[in-house]
């Protein structure tokens, strides 16, 4: 296969060329091989397309920092192949892509299966800290603990070859693409929009999944109008690998009954059969008046600057983390609430939103300013923010060494003590 363009994804086909298309989307840290044991049976009825996430499985390392961007690359890939309508099954991050398709591109999607998925994956803080760990230590800590997250203990012990395969999959992933995918999951939250998913949806989860378990699956089922739940006993997060036969049977049943597309050999497209298509009722012709008196135009809204609060609270959370901001806001009372509002609007909604400096640079300036002013109590959250915003521990060290020259040894000494503790907490992998 030729070099994959930056705006598309690496893919492979299995199954007959004249069959309707079924797409399988992978989980973070995996490759299309996670579906190997589903493909033989699925490919008897469908043309199966599997894709790799950027930097996974040898795919070109073009990071995608949002689920929307991953979805756009998938659609660009399908457009290049002439594919218009398809069924889709995705696991975890691949499931997020499936929800994005259903919400933003419903005309392309015939039926959906969400596996080990969630409308919101943990918290933004958790994924940004994972990015810090990878940036500092590489992917080895994530790879070493992957079997504990993906499989039940009994399966991992009984299947050492599959366990080793899982570790190697993560080890060979591009770190920058992994970090970008963490950012994509950190920002993903479609809980208020689930009611707009309009395709038949199977929500499938392992009973022992500790990452996105049955509770998250039930949230999806409760929110999606046409959804049903399947809980697979004795399986953890990577349920297609751990319980392949059960997952295959569920997918075959779902895509055979919820969507039975017809392939039109004349056009080369797949579409719903006529019996399932919903005709648009004819609209009665509207009699148009020859002329009418237009209402007086409303007075335009007074010109002025938009309220920066919404932008400010978004940036404040992205930089400092939900846990810190929630704690600060929860501690506010009638006396201090106005101050919190002021900080959110003007520090975060005005200054931090200016385009002249990127956030890494603003973090450098902020750390230096805090040391210079002796505000050691503010150094911990901003050191944590700098790490999660892309600065490495070595870069933070250089910033603090520079402050030692210009701000004094005692101030830098205090700063090193605070930063050292935060860096230790943020970069130590959780076993």
pLDDT in tens, 217-272: 999 999 999 999 999 999 999 999 999 999 999 999 999 987 544 444 444 544 43
Residue with tokens 């939250």: 189
The model's confidence at residue 388, banded by pLDDT at 50, 70 and 90, is: confident
* pLDDT recorded at residue 320: 92
Residue 414 has pLDDT above 80, yes or no: yes
Q: What percent of the chain shows pLDDT beyond 90?
A: 82
Q: Where are the domains of the chain?
A: 11-271, 309-427
pTM of the model: 0.80
Q: What is the CATH number of domain 11-271?
A: 3.40.50.1820
Contact 325, 317 (CB under 8 A): yes
pLDDT digits (tens, 9 = 90+) for 327-368: 999 999 989 999 999 999 999 999 999 999 998 999 999 999
* pLDDT recorded at residue 45: 95
The two tokens of residue 387 are: 């790490």
Least Cα distance to 203 among 188, 216, 193 occurs for 216
The two tokens of residue 252 are: 């075959």
For the segment 13-20, the average pLDDT, to the nearest whole number, is: 96
Could you write out the three-class secondary structure of 325-359?
HHHHHHHCCCCCHHHHHHHHHHHHHHHCCCCCCCH
Assigned architecture for domain 309-427 = Up-down Bundle (1.20)
* pLDDT recorded at residue 202: 97
Could you write out the three-class secondary structure of the chain?
CCCCCCCCCCEEEECCCCCCEEEEECCCCCCHHHHCCCHHHHCCCCEEEEECCCCCCCCCCCCCCCHHHHHHHHHHHHHHHCCCCEEEEEECHHHHHHHHHHHHCHHHEEEEEEECCCCCCCCHHHHHHHHHHHHHHCCHHHHHHHHHHHCCHHHHHHCHHHHHHHHHHHHCCCHHHHHHHHHHHHHCCCHHHHHHCCCCEEEEEECCCCCCCHHHHHHHHHHCCCEEEEEECCCCCCHHHHCHHHHHHHHHHHHHHCCCCEEECCCCEEECCCCCCCCCCCCCCCCCCCCCCCCCCCCCCCCCCCCCHHHHHHHHHHHHCHHHHHHHHHHCCCCCHHHHHHHHHHHHHHHCCCCCCCHHHHHHHHHHHHHHHCCHHHHHHHHHHHHHCCCCHHHHHHHHHHHHHHHCHHHHHHHHHHHHHHHHHHHCCCC
Residue 2 has pLDDT above 90, yes or no: no
pLDDT digits (tens, 9 = 90+) for 283-311: 333 333 333 344 444 444 445 667 899 99
The two tokens of residue 71 are: 């979805």
The end-to-end CA distance of the chain, in Å, is: 39
* pLDDT recorded at residue 3: 64
122's torsion region: left (phi>0), alpha (psi -120 to 50) or beta? left
If one compares 157 and 429, the residue with the highest pLDDT of the two is: 157
* pLDDT recorded at residue 102: 98
Residue 161 has pLDDT above 90, yes or no: yes
The model's confidence at residue 430, banded by pLDDT at 50, 70 and 90, is: low
* pLDDT recorded at residue 282: 35
For the segment 121-125, the average pLDDT, to the nearest whole number, is: 91
Residue 76 has pLDDT above 70, yes or no: yes
Q: Within a 10 A sphere around the Cβ of 383, how many other Cβ atoms?
A: 28
Residue 281 has pLDDT above 80, yes or no: no
Contact 357, 389 (CB under 8 A): no
For the segment 99-104, the average pLDDT, to the nearest whole number, is: 98
* pLDDT recorded at residue 375: 93
* pLDDT recorded at residue 389: 87
What b/e sequence results for 154-170 when a residue is b if at least 16 CB atoms lie within 10 Å of its CB, and e otherwise? Answer: ebbeebeebbebbbebb
């Amino acid at each position: 296969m030729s070099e994959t363009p930056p705006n598309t994804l690496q893919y492979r086909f299995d199954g007959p060329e004249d069959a309707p298309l079924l797409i399988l989307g992978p989980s973070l840290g995996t490759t299309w091989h996670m579906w190997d044991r589903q493909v033989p049976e699925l490919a008897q009825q469908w043309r199966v397309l599997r894709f790799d996430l950027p930097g996974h499985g040898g795919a070109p390392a073009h990071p995608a920092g949002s689920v929307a961007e991953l979805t756009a690359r998938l659609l660009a890939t399908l457009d290049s192949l002439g594919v218009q309508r398809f069924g889709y099954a995705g696991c975890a991050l691949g499931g997020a892509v499936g929800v994005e398709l259903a919400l933003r591109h419903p005309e392309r999607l015939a039926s959906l299966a969400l596996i080990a998925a969630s409308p919101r994956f943990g918290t933004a803080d958790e994924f940004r800290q994972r990015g810090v760990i990878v940036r500092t230590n590489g992917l080895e800590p994530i790879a070493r603990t992957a079997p504990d997250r993906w499989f039940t203990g009994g399966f991992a012990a009984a299947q050492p070859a599959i366990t080793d395969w899982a570790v190697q999959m993560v080890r060979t992933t591009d770190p920058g693409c992994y970090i970008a995918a963490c950012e994509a999951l950190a920002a993903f939250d479609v809980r208020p929009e689930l009611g707009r998913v309009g395709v038949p949806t199977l929500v499938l989860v392992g009973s022992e999944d500790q990452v996105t378990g049955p509770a998250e699956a039930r949230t999806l089922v409760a929110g999606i109008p046409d959804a049903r739940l399947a809980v697979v006993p004795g399986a953890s997060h990577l349920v297609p690998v751990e319980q392949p036969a059960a997952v295959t049977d569920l997918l075959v049943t779902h895509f055979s009954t919820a969507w039975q597309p017809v392939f039109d050999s004349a056009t080369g497209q797949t579409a719903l059969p006529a019996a399932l298509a919903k005709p648009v009722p004819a609209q009665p012709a509207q009699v148009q008046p020859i002329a009418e008196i237009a209402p007086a135009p409303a007075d335009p809204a007074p010109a002025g600057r938009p309220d920066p609060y919404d932008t400010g609270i978004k940036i404040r959370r992205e930089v400092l983390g939900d846990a810190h901001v929630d704690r600060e806001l929860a501690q506010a009372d009638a006396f201090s609430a106005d101050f919190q509002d002021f900080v959110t609007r003007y520090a975060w909604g005005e200054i931090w939103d200016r385009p002249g400096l990127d956030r890494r640079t603003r973090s450098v300036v902020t750390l230096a300013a805090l040391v210079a002013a002796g505000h050691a109590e503010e150094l911990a959250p901003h050191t944590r923010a700098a790490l999660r915003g892309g600065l490495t521990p070595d870069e933070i060290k250089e910033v603090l060494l520079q402050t030692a020259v210009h701000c004094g040894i005692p101030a830098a000494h205090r700063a090193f003590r605070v930063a050292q503790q935060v860096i230790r907490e943020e970069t130590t992998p959780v076993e």
